[in-house]
Structure 1
Amino acid sequence: MDRWRAQAIALLLELPGHFALLATAGDDPLGFGMGRVAADQAEVLTLAVRPSAQRGGVGRLLMQAITEEAAGRGATELFLEVAESNVAARCLYVSLGAIPAGRRRAYYPDGGDALVLRLPLIRPGAEGAG
């Protein structure tokens, strides 16, 4: 598994449109997510949940927070990549409304493909508009 170094995260967060969210239980970090928004599109850069907290809803809460943050910043759609072999993550994303948008062949160091998913977003105040 590739790990993000603190310096890389700090550099990204200095760039316009980038954000990070942390899920905790008290002072105990359970997971984090990073995203970026450019114009009306957003991207999940990473989503990680501590192994002991997996399958407890932390990933869902982080994804919901990422989508809310992105929509609040003006995004109307969010993209993400997920390893084709990561069935649990794929199920989570589909349950949130993500749909297939493409494939990146041999994207990961092990040669595995990445599925590109698209999640339509509703911007705050846009419900019922149109």
Structure 2
Amino acid sequence: MRREINQMSIKFPSRSCNEAFARQAVAAFAAQLDPTIEEMNDIKTAVSEAVTNCIVHAYKERTGYITIQAKLFEGGEIQISVRDKGCGIPDVPRARQPMFTTGDAGRSGMGFTIMESFMDKLRVRSREGIGTQVVMTKRIAIRFGQK
């Protein structure tokens, strides 16, 4: 069983200006695991995609709240949960397909694909009218001299 060694939680309005804040906050927390630049960039990219999905899709034309919880586990694992209480996703398997989007023509439809490619594990739970939770996990390589 994994042993949790630290955790954090933040909640902020679903405004695009908060996407960079969320990315940096999670990166600062993840720094405790001493990730490589590449590992840190993977985490930041995945968080950016998850938060952007909340801003663009969950709340559409209104502002709501996004909650991020991150946990560190022994062995160098980070788990990041990004949750909204927006409109929800009616068909999660379809939404996870590359190029699928409910946004305007300028959206690529690659958010979940990007998250999945940069993290080791991605789980999406959603209920229409209730909201969506994306849980991402990444194992950070333990290098010589680390515990």
User: Of Structure 1 and Structure 2, which has the larger fraction of its residues in helix?
Assistant: 2
What TM-score does the superposition give when structure 1 sets the normalisation length?
0.36
User: Of Structure 1 and Structure 2, which has the larger fraction of its residues in strand?
Assistant: 1
Determine which structure has greater relative contact order: mean sequence separation of CA pairs < 8 Å that are 6+ residues apart, divided by chain length.
2
